[in-house]
Structure formats: structure tokens, C-alpha cells
Amino acid sequence: MKKKVKVVAAVIENEHNEILCALRAHDMLIPNMWEFPGGKVEEGENLQEALEREITEELECEIKACEVINRNTHEYDTFIIELISLKAELIKGTPVATEHAKLIWMPRENLESLVWAPADIPAVRDVMNQVNI
């Protein structure tokens, strides 16, 4: 049976209506694809706590994680992901790519021009259409 992972991802918007997008590195699982930064929820954490921890670890800045925008279950070849995308606000510092190949701020309406990790597609559509935001 495939392993199931629960992952939270941050949809962070700046004052120019741009969304923070992160490029997975060539040596990461699901390489060279764009995602919303985040990671796996650990035992005993709620979604917001998990996301705030992951962003501090990965991007060396602080966010406040807010409401869920989209939940999507996607089956990859080797595992099943439950990807939960949350709206988040940057509250301290500037995001730094410590694990990702690149970070960019992308205008909301142009998000679809990136090659997204397949599990992210429904969340990207919701963000573009401003559903639940």
C-alpha cells in the first residue's frame, strides 16, 4: 500500500498582489517543479503550527498561518499526498531559499505559467480565481 502524507503549504501574498512560489531543487523529491512552500504535518501539530514551523525552517522568516484555501488528495507513483493549502501572512523577515532552487513573487493572474507539482493544481486554480481567499 502507498504511504499517505499530510502536507501543509503556504499561500503568501505581498502588497503587490503577488504570490510566493518556490521551485523544488533537482535533488528533492518531485524535482524542478513549483510549489507553495511548506512540508509535512508532524504528530501533535495542528495545521497552522505545522506550517509556521516549516516556513521558519525552510525560508528563515515568520508567517502567521490563517484559513484553509484548498484541500486536495493526489496519488503520485510512490505515495499519496493530502495537500492542504493555507492563506498565510508574512510577519517578520524576508523569505530566503535555503532548500529550494529559487523563490519568486508571481502576479496572481500569471501563476498558471509555472510548471506546478501535480498535487498543487487545484489550489493554484483557486488562488487565481480568488476562491476561499
Ligand X SMILES: Nc1nc2c([nH]c(=O)n2[C@H]2C[C@H](O)[C@@H](COP(=O)(O)OP(=O)(O)OP(=O)(O)O)O2)c(=O)[nH]1
For residues 7 and 63, which CB has a smaller minimum distance to ligand X in the complex? Answer: 7
Beta strands in the chain (DSSP E): 3-12, 18-23, 34-35, 38-40, 62-75, 79-92, 102-107
Say how far apart CA 114 and CA 98 lie, in whole Å: 21
Is 38 among the residues that bind ligand X (CB under 6 A)?
Answer: yes
For residues 7 and 127, which CB has a smaller minimum distance to ligand X in the complex? Answer: 7
Q: How many residues does the chain have?
A: 133
Q: Using CB under 6 A as the criterion, what x/- string covers residues 57-86 for binding ligand X?
A: ------------------------x-x---
**Best CA proximity match to 92, nearest among 61, 66, 64, 65:** 61
Find the shortest distance in angstroms from Cβ 49 to ligand X: 13
Query: Exactly one of 20, 86, 119, 124 binds ligand X (CB under 6 A); which one?
Result: 119
Is 111 among the residues that bind ligand X (CB under 6 A)?
Answer: no
